Amino acid sequence: MYNFEFSKPGTIDEAVAALGADEAQALGGGQTLLPTMKQRLAAPEVLVSLTGIDQMKGICLSDAGEVCIGGATTHATVAAEAAAHYPALAALAGRIGDPAVRNRGTIGGSLANNDPSACYPAAALGSGATIITNTREIAADDYFQGMFATALDEGEIITEVRFPVPEAANYQKFVQPASRFALVGVFVAKYADGVRVAVTGASSDGVFRWTEAEEVLNGSFTKDAIDALSPPSGDMIADLHGSAEYRAHLVKVMTGRAVAAAS
Amino acid sequence: MPKDHGIGASSKRREDLRFLTGRGRYTDDINLMGQAYVHFLRSDMAHGKINGIDTSEAEKMPGVIRIFTGKDFEGVGGLPCGWQVTDRHGNPMQEPPHPILAQGKVRHVGDPICAVVAESAAQARSAAEAIMLDIEELPAVIDMKAAVQDGAPKVHDELDSNLCYDWGFVEENKDAVNKAFEEAAHVTTLELVNQRLAPNAMEPRVAVGDYAPGTDESTLYTTSQNPHVIRLLMGAFVLGIPEHKLRVVAPDVGGGFGSKIFHYAEEAFCTFAAKAIQRPVKWTASRSEAFISDAQGRDHVTKIELALDADNNFTALRTETYANMGAYLSTFAPSVPTWLHGTLMAGNYKTPLIYVNVKAVFTNTVPVDAYRGAGRPEATFQLERVIDKAARELGVDPVELRRQNFVTEFPYATPVAVEYDTGDYHATMDKLLEMIDRDGFEARAAESKARGKLRGLGINSYIEACGIAPSALVGQLGARAGLYESATVRVNATGGLVVMTGSHSHGQGHETSFAQVVADMIGIDEGMVEIVHGDTANTPMGMGTYGSRSLAVGGSAMVRATEKIIAKAKKIAAHLMEAAEGDIELKDGEFTVAGTDKSVAWGDVTLAAYVPHNYPLEELEPGLEETAFYDPNNFTYPAGAYACEVEVDPDTGKVEILSFAAADDFGNIVNPMIVDGQVHGGLAQGIGQALLENCAYDEDGQLLSASYMDYAMPRADDVPFYAVDHSCQTPCTHNPLGVKGCGEAGAIGSPPAVVNAVVDALHRGGHSHVMHIDMPLTPHRVWQAMHQA
Ligand SMILES: Cc1cc2nc3c(=O)[nH]c(=O)nc-3n(C[C@H](O)[C@H](O)[C@H](O)COP(=O)(O)OP(=O)(O)OC[C@H]3O[C@@H](n4cnc5c(N)ncnc54)[C@H](O)[C@@H]3O)c2cc1C
């Protein structure tokens, strides 16, 4: 790790101002950023911690019935407090990493980082969530732009994420044996206006919606409907832990299981 | 009633108090006044020619004290290899130099090129980033079979080829073995890979070098399993420091599993640099560095063939193995695929003819050496897999096929040069079957099937050789060291004892179990015995801990020294009680005279030894301190039977271990709880190998699994609750405790049980084309095996 300045503002405005400095970077739970800095792969000159901003922490229900989660809310808090409103989302948060990771890592950090194997991107895309930043609101469908790429501008902060609550939903995570991130994770959510299926871990383009599956599930929300499909095509990741073909196969298996568990 | 003290009692591990409360004193806890820090700049390419190293900018960086390169070590010895293997043709192995810092070439990712010594670790690292390297990348050789092809790039230009040796064992049997194969009624052949593993001790390696100019003495604090071995190798072969001017201390060590046996460049560097800059020099490995600088384990590619007669008796066994040495010969690397592997190929069976061929190969990868089990897991895995395959091909019960071929008479001289002194392989198999309810398996399999899962059962035997080893024998086999062990027992005036042992404890619990033995012999409280180890300044020359040798060899030395103590104490007691020495008995810490009511307490005798007012000074020296060296006259042969029950998810290929049972014969047991723990740990590592762990290189020699993001260590929920039994006991016939060693058995016996079980599950699920899957049996590999044509 190289030396850096540290600031911990109490408001979003102060954070935005602090992030205006040269080579400044936001710090959420530090579960991704700090290991990267220790390996000297990142070298911000100023770290602006967001975890002292009360406005960005906690969970509530909006008047429209959406679950609203502050951008600096930890996975552990989501696991505990979202359970009553959105059990599938809480269960997803409860299976990220280990207790230490869950007690530090934040939803904003996870979505900003957009690791191709991370769990929250599947929930956000699969729920058609809205990512709220200090400057605008971004629909999940516009937010994710490929591995580690998002619609966020330099210095833009995720202050809140709003999840419409589905009629039924489930997340199936098939873990990569070493990291226990998702080798393939599938989030299925059934809304009055249609089913959404979001897949993480599998594609070289990052999280994506499996539209063929959504279509058949709109007709029949059953595992059988998925069993009749071919695995998704597209540019799947191939590495030590699984070939492209295996990942595509897992997408289908996990989608079927998610539907079975949700219905 | 289980015993509550002494030999046979599950005494609580006294060392755990400090380990579990954060009060251990590990090498990284040692900080010396004025200490500097070193950072090693390591090669990021697998093979390259060093054209130039420019340190001029780096030297100007803040805090830099001095930057060392290979040039500073010209004329200094390289790291020595401790075992010379002779090949099939009677020629010595090819033995390339192993410089402390790279000279001319880099040969694996992680090969140290420069060492930056600075005021802080961060400054050293920053300065290392400013070094300008001019290295021309050369084609890397990674695959062993490609490495021995004509025209393959050479890891060491000065050698004839990448072949370290081509070993045949027993070469004279080769023709007879081939003939037996021609005459066989059935031959089963299996090709398999025993994959490379990273040892991953919880504590990464650390070295602190210190030099005292006033006395010209060097001290090295290091994470080692055998400080005397390091002192000898580093002092005599690398740095030219006489042993009386060199002290090596290995304090609390957080696990080794073999990887901390070897003498490493960083140890020699810190000792050398401390003298060069006249300040202590410290190095602490990061986990990332451990992955590319700790010697790794296994990495064999094998073809094994088993010949059977018409009655299913094993008639011959033939193997061909490629064994990866990595880029350099680590300290004991050549011995692992040969003498620690070929000699175990008989297993528990009376196969009369065996021929083992091993080609050891240099590649542009991290050096490979002994890792928990060292050679014996490789032997067991091949043998127990090929037997299972044979049973499947012949349509016979795998347990019965084994039983039919078990060695049953002891001592038994194998056709591969060793003699099993004792054992009872049917007994451990019987015990195992009792533990696992084999008869109920079909019902359990049906229940799994109803849930869409495939259940399988894998059973195997194993034997291993521990207590390494008779010095004269290993000397003939090429060891450049003796393999005795030592102990000094010092009795204090008030009756307490300190035992200074050449064995080293790095998790095994010697401080507890060794004390149990001595206390039991004298009949005193275990709390009166303290075990001291790990410092060449206060322990007798010892060979250290590996190969499950500590109790069998180190414990035996301790018993011998304690016997000398008791003999002398009896003389003193006889004098005090005015009785004949031959009439003195020692029981429960009391000396008595047979047939009388006279007695003196242990403490009275020890006091008399040091306050010799009433003492036979004409015949006996005062004091009570004895040393013994023990050189075993054979290996010990722990053996047993293991069973694993798995469930495979046919949709994903994921394997879940439902149960694992181990019936071991370790001979006599000193502390059953510690033995359980050793077996549990070994099983976890064996299951880790079977299902999870894999050191994978890409074709350019980059380590793909260079962190825990990609190297899968077993975690608590990957392993089941184990059923462990060691009630079958055939005591070792040639050491005074009758003990065999239990440290590696779990890691040796378990991988074939897991793989046998998975193959069984797949067959039951209709995937009858799957005869083998190479470890680790990741979901991906199992799924691929099911779906391959
Ligand atoms: C051992 C381990 C296991 C893990 N397992 C999983 C897993 O199974 N599944 C999974 O999904 N993840 C996993 N993670 C990742 C974990 O969820 C991280 O917490 C998360 O990816 C990053 O969140 P953070 O708050 O720690 O962000 P940080 O590390 O602090 O920051 C990450 C990036 O996001 C930026 N950032 C942070 N907060 C904001 C914000 N509010 N607005 C804009 N930018 C921001 C930072 O500048 C940085 O670029 C694991 C991590 C570890 C260490």
Per CB-CB distance under 8 Å, the chain B contacts of A177 are 691-692, 712, 778-779
pLDDT tens, residue by residue, B82-136: 999 999 999 999 999 999 999 999 999 999 999 999 999 999 999 999 999 999 9
CB contact under 8 A, A178 and B779: no
Dist. CA A33 → ligand 1 center (Å): 7
Q: Which domain holds residue B108?
A: 31-138+205-284
Dist. CA A158 → ligand 1 center (Å): 13
Nearest CA in chain A to B650: A253
pLDDT tens, residue by residue, B207-220: 999 999 999 999 99
- When the pLDDT of each residue in chain B is averaged and rounded to a whole number, the result is 97
Alpha-carbon distances, residue B692 vs B196, B320, B678, B720, B722 (angstroms)? 12, 26, 20, 15, 18
Dist. CA A177 → ligand 1 center (Å): 19
B48 belongs to a structural domain: yes
**Are both B644 and B561 inside the same structural domain?**
no
How many whole angstroms separate alpha carbon B652 and alpha carbon B635?
Answer: 44
Q: Which one-letter amino acid corresponds to residue B355?
A: Y
Domain ranges of chain A: 5-49, 57-163, 168-262
Say what the ipTM of the complex is: 0.96
Q: Which residues of chain A have pLDDT under 50?
A: none
Per CB-CB distance under 8 Å, the chain B contacts of A242 are 779-780
B519 belongs to a structural domain: yes
Per CB-CB distance under 8 Å, the chain B contacts of A253 are 651-652
Chosen for mutation from A246, A249, A251, A253 (greatest number of chain B CBs closer than 10 Å) is A246
Q: Given this model, what pLDDT does residue B572 score?
A: 97
**Are both B128 and B238 inside the same structural domain?**
yes
Backbone region of residue A155 per phi and psi (left: phi > 0; alpha: psi in -120 to 50; beta: other values): left
Confidence grade of residue B606 (pLDDT, cut at 50, 70, 90): very high
Q: Is the separation of the CB atoms in A110 and A118 below 8 Å?
A: yes
Residue B4 has pLDDT above 90, yes or no: no
**Are both B329 and B254 inside the same structural domain?**
no
Dist. CA A104 → ligand 1 center (Å): 9
Nearest residue by C-alpha to atom 43 in ligand 1:
A157
Confidence grade of residue B2 (pLDDT, cut at 50, 70, 90): low
Q: Do domains A57-163 and A168-262 have the same CATH topology?
A: no
Question: What's CA A52's distance to the chain center, in Å?
Answer: 22
**Are both B424 and B324 inside the same structural domain?**
yes
pLDDT tens, residue by residue, B269-299: 999 999 999 999 999 999 999 999 999 999 9
- DSSP-H helix ranges across B148-293: 174-183, 227-232, 265-277, 287-293
**Are both B335 and B226 inside the same structural domain?**
no
pLDDT tens, residue by residue, B513-566: 999 999 999 999 999 999 999 999 999 999 999 999 999 999 999 999 999 999
Among B614, B630, B646, the domain boundary falls at B630
CB contact under 8 A, A177 and B712: yes
How many whole angstroms separate alpha carbon A242 and alpha carbon A181?
Answer: 13
Alpha-carbon distances, residue B434 vs B502, B529, B642, B757 (angstroms)? 40, 39, 12, 18
Confidence grade of residue B700 (pLDDT, cut at 50, 70, 90): very high
Statement: the pTM of the whole predicted model exceeds 0.90: yes
**Are both B618 and B640 inside the same structural domain?**
no
Return the C-alpha torsion angle B538, B540, B541, B545, nearest 10.
-90
**Are both B241 and B268 inside the same structural domain?**
yes
For ligand 1, mutation pick of A113, A117, A119 (most atoms within 8 Å of CB): A113
Q: Given this model, what pLDDT does residue A76 score?
A: 98
**Are both B461 and B353 inside the same structural domain?**
yes
Nearest CA in chain B to A174: B652
Q: Is the separation of the CB atoms in B647 and B656 below 8 Å?
A: yes
Residue B616 has pLDDT above 80, yes or no: yes
Beta-carbon contacts of B524 under 8 Å, excluding residues fewer than 6 positions away, are B495, B589, B602
Our CA angle for A216, A219, A222, nearest 5°, is 70
- Distance from the A201 Cα atom to the nearest Cα atom in chain B, whole angstroms: 14
CA dihedral over B473, B476, B479, B480, signed as positive or negative: positive
Closest CB to B780: pick one of A39, A178, A241. A241
Residue B1 has pLDDT above 60, yes or no: no
Chosen for mutation from A249, A252, A257 (greatest number of chain B CBs closer than 10 Å) is A249
Q: Given this model, what pLDDT does residue B789 score?
A: 65
Which CATH number fits the domain A57-163, given the four candidates 3.40.50.10470, 3.30.465.10, 3.40.1030.10, 1.10.10.10? 3.30.465.10
B666 burial level (CB within 10 Å; 0-12, 13-18, 19+): buried
The residues that bridge with B306 in the sheet, in sequence order, are B188, B317
**Are both B129 and B262 inside the same structural domain?**
yes
Q: Given this model, what pLDDT does residue B3 score?
A: 75
Domain count, chain B: 3
Q: Given this model, what pLDDT does residue A263 score?
A: 78
Among B250, B284, B318, the domain boundary falls at B284
CB contact under 8 A, B705 and A178: yes
**Are both B549 and B669 inside the same structural domain?**
no
Secondary structure of residue B740 in the 3-state scheme: coil
Inform me whether the C-beta atom of residue A202 falls under 8 Å from chain B C-beta atoms: no
Per CB-CB distance under 8 Å, the chain B contacts of A178 are 692, 705, 708-713
Looking up residue B334, the CATH number of its domain turns out to be 3.30.365.10
B476 belongs to a structural domain: no
Nearest CA in chain A to B693: A178
Q: Is the separation of the CB atoms in B337 and B300 below 8 Å?
A: yes
* CATH 3.40.50.300 given to domain A168-262: no
**Are both B622 and B641 inside the same structural domain?**
no
How many whole angstroms separate alpha carbon B319 and alpha carbon B162?
Answer: 21
Closest CB to A242: pick one of B122, B711, B780. B780
Which CATH number fits the domain A5-49, given the four candidates 3.40.50.970, 3.30.43.10, 1.10.10.10, 3.40.50.2300? 3.30.43.10
Residue B22 has pLDDT above 70, yes or no: yes
Among B284, B314, B330, the domain boundary falls at B284
B156 belongs to a structural domain: no
Q: Which one-letter amino acid corresponds to residue B324?
A: N
Looking up residue B271, the CATH number of its domain turns out to be 3.90.1170.50
Beta-carbon contacts of B698 under 8 Å, excluding residues fewer than 6 positions away, are B142, B704
Mean pLDDT of B188-197: 98
Q: Which of B216, B246, B215, B244 is nearest to B230 (CA)?
A: B246
B401 belongs to a structural domain: yes
Q: A10-20 as b/e, with b when 16 or more CB fall inside 10 Å? A: eebeebbebbe
Q: With helix as H, strand as E and coil as C, how does B714-734 read?
A: CCHHHCCCEEEECCCCCCCCC
Kind of pairing between the strands at B186-197 and B297-308: antiparallel
Q: Given this model, what pLDDT does residue B5 score?
A: 86
**Are both B667 and B744 inside the same structural domain?**
yes
Nearest residue by C-alpha to atom 49 in ligand 1:
A113
CA diameter of chain B:
88
How would DSSP label each residue in B174-188? HHHHHHHHHH-SEEE
Residue B69 has pLDDT above 60, yes or no: yes
CB contact under 8 A, A241 and B778: yes
Q: Given this model, what pLDDT does residue B575 score?
A: 97
Q: Is the separation of the CB atoms in A206 and A146 below 8 Å?
A: yes
Q: Given this model, what pLDDT does residue B788 score?
A: 87
Q: B174-191 as b/e, with b when 16 or more CB fall inside 10 Å? A: beebeebbeebeebbebe
